[in-house]
Amino acid sequence: MTRIFALILAFAAALLAPQAAHAQDITAIRFGEHATHTRVVIETRTPARVRAHTLSEPGARLVLSFESASWAVDGLPDAAGLGAGLVGAFRFDDAASHPRLVFSLSGPANIRQQMSLDPAGGGYRTVIDLEPVSQAAFASVSGFPQAAATITELVAREAGVGFTPESCERIRVVIDPGHGGRDPGALARFGGMHESGVVLAAGLALRDILNESGRYEVIMTRDTDVFVDLYDRVRIAREARADLFISIHADSAGDNSGPQGATVYSMNARAESRARDRAITDGNWVDISRPEEVSRILVEMSIANKRSQSELFAEALRTEVGRTAALWRSTPMEANFAVLTDAETPAVLFEMGFLTNREDSRRMNDPAGRRRLMQAAAAAIDTHFAGCGATGWTYWAANTGAPAAVASAR
């Protein structure tokens, strides 16, 4: 597990830590209908620490998350009621670690302002003014994914490449030779091995080079000619808590012998979306004892970290491989390969060259040619982890009280 990820968890823990020392009893809720806006007033016995945001899916909602709160409104024993103006039904939900007040909205509305006022005859007041806006304007500011993206940008900017493996002395690299067993992959066209054999030989060569350095812990998804399911390959990387996943393949252009050169793929938007879907339906990420939004933030941060690390490594790999072999394309490439669709592990898919091209095929079938390609891969791995342990930590250590960042990022 990467250190930044550990910090994300620390951030979550800070967000979720029990803080019930003084519960902010909610004693009254009022609504005011105005020509331009709807005012929501919540009274509490002690000053409320509350974050307000809107959600667009499913259905427009205003959500107030309290640091701690309990329901003490006379006349509403069911902790639910009806609003006015833009606000329909509302309910208090204290099941989550952070109690929430959820208001359904009759249409798209933004928070125009939020104020905290001292008592004037009643309790402490939290005042929120909602104003109707277009659906597009609502969608553009609603939702936690939006806030998460902003936090993620903040992290990316402040932490830079400060992503740090758990141990900089034992960086975990998963090598994934593609295909195998009943799946030969691309077929040999100019003699030599099929793809499954070429990539296994290459993967074993890379393993040996990395092991020689003593700096890496290498995990192979396969080290013999066996079939391994694509998702099992991803699972192996996740369970190893890998710092990098590199899938090795050899390309085919069918009957066309012209295409030549290596290609490095990182995940595209579709793969990212699959990673998100799987993370959210995956029990590892969703914990019913915490607000769903927190799970979503964690997933978004993890995916953003994976994306930036994958792209950085892909760039390093392209640079190193370009010194020893042709590159098929001069621009960074992205794809929706199943082995790239994990939400956590930085991952690339490395096509060493085309088995359908005579020169590429010769290089990949020659142990010395393979070794040069794998030395390039090892050099890229060294480059990528050269700054391991350098940055990132300070920023996060100073900001583990990050709920403030959540609020200001809105």
Which residue, 57 or 229, is less far from Zn ion as judged by CB?
229
Which residue, 185 or 197, is less far from Zn ion as judged by CB?
185
Binding positions for Zn ion, 103-142, rule CB under 5 A: none
Pick from 37, 207, 238, 249: which binds Zn ion (CB under 5 A)? 249
- Least Å distance between CB 351 and Zn ion? 7
Pick from 178, 203, 291, 353: which binds Zn ion (CB under 5 A)? 178
- Least Å distance between CB 185 and Zn ion? 4
Q: Which stretch binds Zn ion (CB under 5 A): 214-222, 242-250, 329-337, 380-388?
A: 242-250
Which residue, 172 or 249, is less far from Zn ion as judged by CB?
249
Nearest to 218 by CA among 176, 178, 250: 176
String of DSSP letters for 99-142? -EEEEEESS-EEEEEEEEE--SSSSEEEEEEEEE--HHHHHHH-
Q: Is 233 in the site for Zn ion (CB under 5 A)?
A: no
- Least Å distance between CB 195 and Zn ion? 5
Binding positions for Zn ion, 299-358, rule CB under 5 A: none
Which residue, 96 or 335, is less far from Zn ion as judged by CB?
335
Which residue, 190 or 395, is less far from Zn ion as judged by CB?
190
User: What letter does residue 23 receive in the DSSP assignment?
Assistant: -
Q: Which residue is nearest to Zn ion (CB)?
A: 249
Which residue, 160 or 184, is less far from Zn ion as judged by CB?
184
Residues 6+ apart with CB under 8 A from 258: 357
Helix 358-365 and helix 195-213, axial crossing angle in degrees, nearest 10: 50
User: What letter does residue 193 receive in the DSSP assignment?
Assistant: -
Q: Which stretch binds Zn ion (CB under 5 A): 63-71, 241-249, 257-265, 276-284?
A: 241-249
Q: Which stretch binds Zn ion (CB under 5 A): 40-48, 120-128, 178-186, 338-346?
A: 178-186
Burial of 73 (0-12, 13-18, 19+ CB in 10 A): middle
- Least Å distance between CB 197 and Zn ion? 12
- Least Å distance between CB 211 and Zn ion? 24
CA–CA–CA angle 398, 402, 405 (5° rounding): 110
- Least Å distance between CB 277 and Zn ion? 24
Question: Is there a contact between 106 and 120 (Cβ–Cβ < 8 Å)?
Answer: no
My answer on whether omega of the bond before 119 falls inside 30° of 0, hence cis, is: no
The H or E element that residue 266 is part of is strand 263-267
User: Site for Zn ion (CB under 5 A): how many residues?
Assistant: 3
Tokens 């012998």, residue? 257
- Least Å distance between CB 249 and Zn ion? 3
Rounded to whole angstroms, how far apart are CA atoms 383 and 409? Answer: 33
The H or E element that residue 381 is part of is helix 367-384
Binding positions for Zn ion, 148-177, rule CB under 5 A: none
Answer positive or negative: Cα dihedral of 296, 300, 301, 302.
positive
Q: Is 185 in the site for Zn ion (CB under 5 A)?
A: yes
- Least Å distance between CB 272 and Zn ion? 21
Q: Is 203 in the site for Zn ion (CB under 5 A)?
A: no
Strands 50-55 and 124-132: unpaired
Which residue, 180 or 185, is less far from Zn ion as judged by CB?
185
- Least Å distance between CB 402 and Zn ion? 41
String of DSSP letters for 26-84? EEEEEEEE-SS-EEEEEEESS---EEEEEE-TTS-EEEEEESSEEE--TT-TTSEEE--
Which residue, 194 or 215, is less far from Zn ion as judged by CB?
194
Which residue, 72 or 230, is less far from Zn ion as judged by CB?
230
- Could you list the residues that contact Zn ion (CB under 5 A)? 178, 185, 249
